Amino acid sequence: MYPGRVSGSVLEINVSPLESELPHPVESVEVTDGGIVGDRYGDSRTLTLIESEALEGLRADTGVELSAAASRRQVLTRGIRLNDLVGERFRVGDVECVGQELCEPCRHLQSLTEPEVLRGLVHRGGLRADIVSGGRIAVGDAVSAAG
């Protein structure tokens, strides 16, 4: 988490019903222990998140503008350091998760965007989390350590 902050917030939620479709923003989603309802990865039992601060850092460091949707992460956050949630329980709206691993950028993401994305998002490409219990996530919801 960022100094003095025990929680952050959801800035954007992106879903893509079809593999060939760029994820698009929605105001809220229903999540089951199987994943986001209506998302092409809805049966993955995971949620992917990325910090708005990471995308701002990418722009500052490389000049590359990458939207949350183009990052292929489902939830854009602000104010909480996602790397600190690896191995930890946390909540996104009504949904309880456990941080599993960092979502390091890959060559596929680079091929869909810009060459600098791979280098620019190393160790700040987001978080893959297992869904413990489902619920609703909406733009503006809190992201916080469970407890």
If one counts the domains in the chain, the total is: 1
* pLDDT at 32 (0 to 100): 94
Dump strand ranges (E) for 73-126: 75-78, 89-92, 95-102
Q: What is the CATH number of the domain that holds 63?
A: 2.40.33.20
DSSP H or E stretch at residue 107? helix 107-112
Structural domain includes residue 2? no
Structural domain includes residue 29? yes
What is the value of pTM for the model shown?
0.88
User: Which tens digits make up the pLDDT trace of 86-135?
Assistant: 999 999 999 999 999 998 776 666 666 677 776 767 788 899 999 999 99
Q: Which domain holds residue 135?
A: 7-145
Structural domain includes residue 54? yes
End-to-end CA distance of the chain: 15
Structural domain includes residue 44? yes
Structural domain includes residue 55? yes
Structural domain includes residue 1? no
